């Protein structure tokens, strides 16, 4: 899942620094994710993983790193 999320971000961005970031590095601190990309990423995650992401879940803790995004998606997928 982390590989797929990274691949999506790389294909969506022209961010040269993304390949150098580790899965746990902050995408927000690196300036990789802005509000527009966040909306695109959320739509992608909802389509790809058949989950629904509510406004209450749109917090930095869930989307600050590739690792955090993957953990969040796994939690959402495991909910009934």
- Identify the pLDDT of residue 20: 77
Average pLDDT, the chain: 89
Neighbours of 63 (CB within 10 A): 21
Encode pLDDT of 55-67 as tens digits. Answer: 999 998 999 999 9
Distance CA 3, CA 59 (A): 22
What is this structure's pTM? 0.88
Q: What ranges do the domains of the chain cover?
A: 2-78
pLDDT tens digits, 17-51: 566 788 999 998 888 888 888 899 999 999 999 99
Angle at 6 between CA 73 and CA 13, to 5 degrees: 120
The CATH code that applies to domain 2-78 is 1.10.1200.10
Whole-number Å distance between alpha carbons of 14 and 68: 22
């Amino acid at each position: 899942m982390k590989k797929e999320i990274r691949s999506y971000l790389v294909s969506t961005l022209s961010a040269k620094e993304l390949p150098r970031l580790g899965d746990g590095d902050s995408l927000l601190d690196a300036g990789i994710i802005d509000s527009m990309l966040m909306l695109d990423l959320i739509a992608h995650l909802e389509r790809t993983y058949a989950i629904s992401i509510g406004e209450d879940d749109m917090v930095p803790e869930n989307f600050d790193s590739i690792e955090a995004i993957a953990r969040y998606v796994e939690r959402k997928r495991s909910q009934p």
